[in-house]
Structure 1
Amino acid sequence: MSLSSHAWIFLGAGLLVALVAVPLILKKVPMNRWYGVRFPQSYRSDRLWYEINRHGGGYLLGTSLAWMTYGVCGLVEPGIWNENAPRYAFFGMVVMVVSTVAGTIASYLKARQLASSAIE
Structure 2
Amino acid sequence: MHWTTIAIAVSIFFVAALMIGLSIPLVQGKVPPNNTYGFRTSKTLADPSIWYEANRFSGRVAIAVSIVMIALGIALLLLDRYTKLDPNSLIVLGLAFEIVPMLVLTLVLFLYHRNL
TM-score range, shorter chain: 0.7 to 0.9
Q: CA deviation at 1:6?
A: 2.0
- Post-superposition Cα deviations, 1:45-79, rounded to whole Å, max 9, x if no partner, equal 11100000111111211221222111122334423
Measured on the aligned residues, the alpha-carbon RMSD in Å equals 2.0
Residues 1:39 and 2:37 aligned together: no
Alignment of 1:1-120 (within 5 A): 1-82=3-84, 84-113=86-115, 115=116
Aligned residues: 114
Q: CA deviation at 1:108?
A: 2.5
CA distance in 2, matches of 1:6, 1:108: 27
Answer with 28-37 or 12-21: which moved more.
12-21
Q: CA deviation at 1:28?
A: 1.0
Structure 2 runs not aligned, ≥5 long: none
Structure 1 runs not aligned, ≥5 long: 116-120
Structure 1 runs, 4 residues or longer, greater than 3 Å off: 83-86
Specify the SS of the correspondent of 1:23: helix
